[in-house]
């Protein structure tokens, strides 16, 4: 039978064994803190849990301010150990690391991207045109912006205001954050102007002067300045100015006309053409005209004034009425087209022009 003294001794031995086992298990559960060589932080602060493994309950204690968004900084190991010791974190395994690298990633929004997003927000808003044609001037200089890397959402416009009377805009952009429910908002204001490509004169142009390729440059001008009548480079080159135009002026379609192929008082070639016959006579234009215009021309041989159609540079086609033959005459009349010879010039022309033009048999 066990005595009281034997029972107490057994109880003491059991307690000692349990205490030793608990101490052994505790050593296994609580590992020593280990320093990290490279860390990445999100937010403004560097915490104990960022710089060491096994930080335990001290993990959320802030010990340093984080580097700027999108940059990397370094911390000497000795300085980190001192900061940890101040918060009763001791026995840190440094693994012979001399310094640690701290990186704070960021999402960068370039100024061009911001401007493009605002232009798209204003596109076709209150009379504005395509985003590509909108020129923006901001109240404050737009620079590249850096956001926390957790802002992974697409850029969306949450508020858009534009006053067409003065061109003022006020646009708010929103970007969703993967970590929080509320997106960040960026507000921009300034002036928006719709522009168009215009042919602009590099030099002054006189009235009736033909515009050459070297006379024109392409610039973007406000649509309100040039209107909807703006001329393109292709439309302007080769055309004639209706009036005097100044250098730097944006050309409008109303400023241009087809070039005069015939000038007033210019010596021109009068062309008489009938089936099988092509005659040319020198004449003097009594008025100017472009292709297709009907102008008066003085026959320099007969001194008669006739009208004709401008068909080329310095060329006027004169219509010649030909007698209508009866059906019997058409069947019996001899072929005359090929019988005209140079020595018949005067007789042939005198019927139409009372002059001595050149006679050219027409070839089909």
pLDDT tens, 277-307? 888 899 999 988 888 889 999 999 889 999 9
> What is the distance between the alpha carbons of residues 15 and 18, in angstroms, rounded to a whole number?
5
- Tokens, residue 326: 């009866």
Mean pLDDT (whole number) for 227-235 = 88
Strand, coil or helix: what is 111?
A: helix
Distances (CA, A) of 56 to 34, 85, 88, 89, 123: 12, 14, 12, 10, 54
Angle at 362 between CA 360 and CA 364, to 5 degrees: 155
Give backbone dihedrals phi and psi of 107, rounded to 5 degrees, phi first: -100, 125
pTM above 0.85, yes or no: no
Q: Are 241 and 207 in contact (CB under 8 A)?
A: yes
Q: Is the pLDDT of residue 45 over 90?
A: yes
| Residue that has been written with the tokens 């900084």 in this structure | 73
- What letters, b where the CB count within 10 A reaches 16 and e where it falls short, cover 132-155? ebbebeeeeebeebbbbbebeeeb
Q: Please check whether the two domains, 106-259 and 267-330+340-361, share a CATH topology.
A: no
Other C-beta atoms closer than 10 Å to the C-beta of 98 total 10
pLDDT tens-digit profile of 161-220?
Answer: 999 999 999 999 999 998 888 899 999 999 999 999 999 999 999 988 899 999 999 999
Note the helical H segments in the chain. Answer: 4-29, 48-51, 77-85, 111-122, 223-226, 233-236, 327-332, 345-350
Q: Is the pLDDT of residue 80 over 70?
A: yes
Question: Of 142-146, 307-311, 341-345, 356-360, where does mean pLDDT reach its minimum?
Answer: 341-345
- Tokens, residue 51: 């710089």
Considering the domain 267-330+340-361 in this protein, what is its CATH number? 2.30.30.760
Residue ranges per structural domain of the chain: 34-104, 106-259, 267-330+340-361
Q: State how beta strands 315-318 and 358-361 pair.
A: unpaired
> What is the distance between the alpha carbons of residues 231 and 250, in angstroms, rounded to a whole number?
8
- At the top level of CATH, the class of 106-259 is alpha beta
| Residue that has been written with the tokens 């009594």 in this structure | 286
**Partner residues linked to 250 by β-bridges:** 200
- Banded pLDDT at 276 (limits 50, 70, 90): confident
């Amino acid at each position: 039978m066990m005595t009281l003294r034997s029972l107490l001794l057994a109880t003491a031995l059991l307690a000692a064994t349990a205490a030793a086992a608990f101490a052994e298990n505790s050593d296994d559960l609580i590992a020593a803190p280990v320093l990290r060589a490279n860390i990445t932080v999100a937010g403004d602060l560097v915490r104990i849990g960022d710089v060491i493994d096994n930080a335990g309950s001290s993990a959320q204690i802030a010990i340093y301010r984080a580097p700027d968004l999108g940059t990397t900084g370094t911390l000497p190991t000795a300085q980190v150990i001192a900061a940890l010791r101040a918060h009763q974190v001791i026995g840190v395994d440094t693994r012979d690391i001399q310094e640690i690298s701290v990186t704070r990633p960021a999402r960068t929004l370039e100024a061009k991207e911001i401007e493009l997003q605002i232009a798209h927000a204003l596109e076709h808003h209150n009379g504005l045109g395509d985003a590509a044609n909108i020129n923006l001037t901001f109240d404050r200089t737009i620079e590249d912006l850096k956001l926390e890397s957790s802002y992974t959402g697409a850029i969306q416009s949450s508020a858009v205001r534009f006053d067409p009377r003065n061109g003022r805009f006020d646009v708010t952009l929103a970007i969703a954050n993967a970590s929080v429910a509320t997106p960040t908002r960026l507000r921009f204001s300034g002036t928006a102007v719709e522009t168009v490509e215009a042919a602009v004169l590099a030099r002054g142009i006189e009235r009736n002067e033909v515009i050459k390729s070297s006379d024109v440059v392409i610039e973007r001008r406000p649509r309100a300045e040039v209107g909807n009548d703006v001329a393109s480079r292709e439309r302007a080159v080769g055309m004639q100015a209706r009036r005097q135009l100044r250098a730097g002026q944006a050309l409008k379609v109303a400023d241009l006309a087809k070039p005069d192929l015939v000038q007033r008082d210019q010596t021109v070639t009068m062309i008489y053409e009938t089936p099988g016959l092509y005659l040319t006579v020198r004449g003097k234009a009594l008025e100017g005209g472009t292709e297709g215009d009907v102008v008066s021309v003085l026959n320099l041989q007969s001194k008669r004034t006739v009208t004709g159609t401008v068909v080329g540079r310095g060329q006027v086609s004169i219509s010649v009425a030909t007698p209508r033959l009866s059906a019997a005459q058409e069947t019996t009349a001899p072929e005359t087209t090929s019988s005209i010879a140079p020595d018949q010039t005067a007789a042939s022309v005198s019927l139409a022009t009372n002059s001595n033009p050149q006679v050219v048999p027409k070839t089909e």
